[in-house]
Structure 1
Amino acid sequence: RLYHLRRLRDFRLPSKDAPKDQRYASGQFFFEYLVVVSLKKSKSDVYEPLISYQFPKRDGMVRFQKEEEEKTLKAITLFCFPEGINWAPLTEYRSETFSFVLTEVDGSRRNGYCRRLLPHGKGARPPEAYCIISKVACFGLFSKIFDEVEKRRQISMAMIYPFMQSLREAPFPAPGNTVKIKSFIPDSGTEIISLTRPTDSWLEHVDFRTLFRCLSDEEVLQVFAATVLERRIIFIAEELGTLSQVIHAVSVLLHPFIWQHTLISIVPEILIDVVMAPTPYLLGVQKRFADQVTDQGDLLAVDLSEGRTQTFIRQVGDENSILPHKLKEEILQALKMRNETATLDELNQVVPEAFLPFFVKTVGHFAKHITRTGQNQEGHFQKRTFCKAHESKSTRRFVKKFVETQMFDLFIQEVEQSKVCFFLSFPGFFEQKIAEYHKKMKEKMMKQ
């Protein structure tokens, strides 16, 4: 439950002139392991995904650890090749990079980054996938690492090992900082590879460009509204990269809240029955399975594919009226501030500035409704007075629904259990925005 608080504190970033120990996230590796998943022909004459390379090898595990490891590796092969189709050797294949999330029994999550490509060689051959498992959520950083892995794979599989070993031994940089990796390549000599984490740690796993390329601003708002109320949402697309990027972008729009339910950015065919679950989820499904997943009950099914006849294949019907009208218009106006040719960094600035004020204005008064018997005592959230604090009926109506979500409940539990001085001494980004908003409103009142 302290995850949210740690995440907020990531905004208190060390400068590049800070001492070395502040520039790195101590005790954290770039990754747990790298695997290469190859398609091998089975006895039944079909190609099946199998792990052909793993770094580092895990030795000395007891029986239950080996069993868990085998389950994880099996899951990785499914997520790297989720289509469930009979692959065949190819002469051309467009490389694609995507990500997925492995959720443990205790709710903890690990990130899987995958690049699928046609290995170097002549003639027809099946594609293979490189997959990195890491506790770190940073899509852009691992995409660059894949570029280096792919470059070495073209020379020899053996060239991957020294690079990944150097990477594993390197200190993991704090947000906004860079780590340099030395790596030797035959005929090229020693190269220095710079890997930089984005300054805003909560945005380092997201690329908003895909979301706003696939959906209009108004459509994004309908998806956002359904997500805020923790509904069942399915995204449909041909490309795996599109599915993973859109789902991660949508989940980031919830900041400072965190999606607490099922999140599978790419659902393998063998797990397609997960769409029947009655609980909230964010699922990415390939277009070929669309007919199998859109005949469910209350859900929002979003078609992201090009040339679609309609975006929302299924709807509950109230998505356009969930958000208070005035606040919804403010988000739309803020989104219009971006350029059509906005870069990733520009979008990562404009989009949060458009959506975060929504939460500031609807639930930013939460601290005023936490009562404590003493400074170091746990607090108690006064839900009733909190919900009635707004003058606007539409805002009150939304807040009453939102406080019943699991994401808000967990957020408030963390605030209740924290020391009262925490938010005063270490205000997170959300708290900073709340303070700025209250100051602005106070100045406005004084001028009247």
Structure 2
Amino acid sequence: MWEISPSHTHHRGPAHFSVEIVSDAGVMKKISSMFSSLHDKLHRDKGEKKAMPPPADVTPPSESAHMLGRPPFFEYLVVVSLRKRSGGDEGYEPQIIYQFPRATSQSQHKEEEPRLKAIKLFCFPEGVNWAPLTEYRSETFSFVLTEMDGSRRNGYCRRLLPLGKGARPPEAYCIISTLACFGLFSKIFDEVEKRRQISMAMIYPFMQSLRETPFPAPGKTATIKSFIPESGTEIISLTRPVDSWLEHVDFRPLFLCLSDEEVLQVFAAAVLERRIIFIAEELSTLSQVLHAVAALLFPFIWQHTFISIVPKVLLDVYLAPTPYLLGIQRNLLHLLTEHSDLLIVDLTGQSESKFITKIGDEDTLIPSRLQEELLQDLCKRKHDATTEELNSVVSEAFLSFFVKTVGHFANHIKCPIGKKQPRTFQKKSFLKAVEPKENRNFVKQFVQMQMFDLFIQEEEKHPNHEGFFYKKVVEFQQRRKEQLRSGGVKGLVV
């Protein structure tokens, strides 16, 4: 089973080209079966076996990284090339021409094979219809492979034209890692690409050094030494952002494609777990926008199908009746013939309306006062803001929305006095305490969502009083109490 999602252990923030299906077991089994059958269609002429769900085993980390208690940077790097189809068939199909490190045993090779087939598909989701190119603007995106046991691996991919002259198809470099940090892996690709210009053999020592280096803690830097002929030994510094929650996110593409008001409508539909499709031409745009939308939901996590770039052979997934966030390339838009109960968002700017299809109530789902406050908060961002500055303003705005609407949840998780019983969430008292009352209808809908339910379940078992969201709630409640004492606010969220 392969899926896409924001790529953090608990605060998945999302990245870029990811595939994740975190829905119920029945839907997961159905889509996994769809993947296998469609993949068979592509390869039945070669008699290939079905791609079964990849195993749960993880490639053992390097000894030095393991001893330091942190995972290594990556599990393996593969280079995927497009080769002409055999047997007189037209078009191209992806093939792995390089893998580091290679499987060291037959059993490991057998375990990796299904995952590698999935990687090839998601590196080139367009299918077999390629034409040789003389120019191709390289792009970087990411995806997530979600195993049947729920464990996740992030795939980071850079596509570019290989060395050579004349028209030729692009190739893709793909790094598989359990870690989520798009910026760092983009920089790693710069180094890989520089060494590829010299020789494929130059990639090995750099990746070996990287593999033996533990992933740095937030705000820390990993230093890697690498030798390049005629340049000598280079020292490469890879710094991880302090705010690990947003290290896989860039909100800029989202706000370049959509106005603030349009972002709020998409956010409202996502909060209420609807079916949403994004349309764009570039893989990087789809990848970045979908992960940005998922990040707006923090501290909640999208729990359903999330595929930031849907391969053509999996396009029928849009017919699933369950909630999803999907990214589909514009040249496949004509294949979406069923538009009922969908929000289809056009990110290309080629039409007057950004919404190809709407349910119609998206602009009324969020109470008007909260919409105004969100828009005011978003206006605080600067046009020349850095990615970090923009991420801070945007994330604070939407986090404040959840603080105001459901931030009082902790006061309604009770533990029976003198009894060894689990803590339980008191939904009735929680809803009654929502202030102002105009927010209650929205909150009543939101508490029915799976993302809220799982958030509460986690808080019942393991209350996170040190978490960023909880701290923001405490700050907000203190301000409300001060305003109440001074007579500036009527009512108090408790």
Q: Is the 8 A contact 2:345 2:355 kept in 1?
A: yes
Structure 2 CA distance, aligned partners of 1:77 and 1:128?
A: 11
Query: 2:152: which partner in 1?
Result: 109
Q: CA offsets per residue over residues 236-291 of structure 1, 9 Å max, x none? A: 00000000000000000000001111111100000000000001111100001112
Query: 1:125: which partner in 2?
Result: 168
Residue 435 of structure 1: which of 474, 480, 485 is its match? 474
Query: 1:51: which partner in 2?
Result: 96
* Equivalent AA in structure 2 for residue 205 of structure 1: H
Query: 1:135: which partner in 2?
Result: 178
* Equivalent AA in structure 2 for residue 185 of structure 1: I
Query: 1:326: which partner in 2?
Result: 369
Residue 69 of structure 1: which of 112, 120, 135 is its match? 112
Structure 2 CA distance, aligned partners of 1:113 and 1:363?
A: 35
Query: Quick check: 1:288 aligned with 2:349?
Result: no
Query: 1:13: which partner in 2?
Result: none
Partner SS, residue 242 of structure 2: coil
Residue 245 of structure 2: which of 188, 194, 202 is its match? 202
Structure 2 CA distance, aligned partners of 1:143 and 1:260?
A: 27
Partner SS, residue 54 of structure 1: strand
Q: Is the 8 A contact 2:7 2:154 kept in 1?
A: no
Equivalent runs, 1:212-361 vs 2, <5 Å: 212-293=255-336, 295-361=338-404
How far the C-alpha of 1:349 sits from its partner, in A, is 1.1
Structure 1 CA distance, aligned partners of 2:295 and 2:102?
A: 34
* Equivalent AA in structure 2 for residue 103 of structure 1: T
Q: Is the 8 A contact 1:180 1:192 kept in 2?
A: yes
Query: 2:443: which partner in 1?
Result: 399
Structure 2 CA distance, aligned partners of 1:263 and 1:5?
A: 14
Q: CA offsets per residue over residues 365-421 of structure 1, 9 Å max, x none? A: 011111102598521111111112124333110111111111111100011112xxx
Structure 1 CA distance, aligned partners of 2:405 and 2:8?
A: 20
Query: 1:385: which partner in 2?
Result: 429
Question: Mind listing any 5+ residue stretches in structure 1 that lack a counterpart?
Answer: 11-20
Query: Quick check: 1:447 aligned with 2:486?
Result: yes
Q: Is the 8 A contact 2:8 2:179 kept in 1?
A: no
Q: Is the 8 A contact 1:101 1:263 kept in 2?
A: no
Partner SS, residue 242 of structure 1: helix
Structure 1 CA distance, aligned partners of 2:393 and 2:175?
A: 30
Q: Which runs of 4+ in 1 moved over 6 A?
A: 3-6
Structure 1 CA distance, aligned partners of 2:274 and 2:222?
A: 40
Moved more, 134-143 or 231-240: 134-143
Number of matched pairs: 426
How far the C-alpha of 1:84 sits from its partner, in A, is 1.6
Q: Is the 8 A contact 1:25 1:173 kept in 2?
A: no
Q: 1:394 to 1:109 in 2, by over 3 A?
A: farther
How far the C-alpha of 1:66 sits from its partner, in A, is 4.4
Q: CA offsets per residue over residues 62-120 of structure 1, 9 Å max, x none? A: 3xx64542221111111111112422322111111111121211233221111000012
Query: Quick check: 1:80 aligned with 2:119?
Result: no
* Equivalent AA in structure 2 for residue 58 of structure 1: A
* Equivalent AA in structure 1 for residue 232 of structure 2: G
How far the C-alpha of 1:329 sits from its partner, in A, is 0.8
Query: 1:409: which partner in 2?
Result: 453
Question: Mind listing any 5+ residue stretches in structure 2 that lack a counterpart?
Answer: 1-5, 14-63, 488-494
Normalised TM-score (structure 2): 0.83
* Equivalent AA in structure 1 for residue 447 of structure 2: V
Structure 1 CA distance, aligned partners of 2:68 and 2:467?
A: 18
Q: Is the 8 A contact 1:101 1:265 kept in 2?
A: no
Normalised TM-score (structure 1): 0.91
Structure 2 CA distance, aligned partners of 1:230 and 1:416?
A: 22
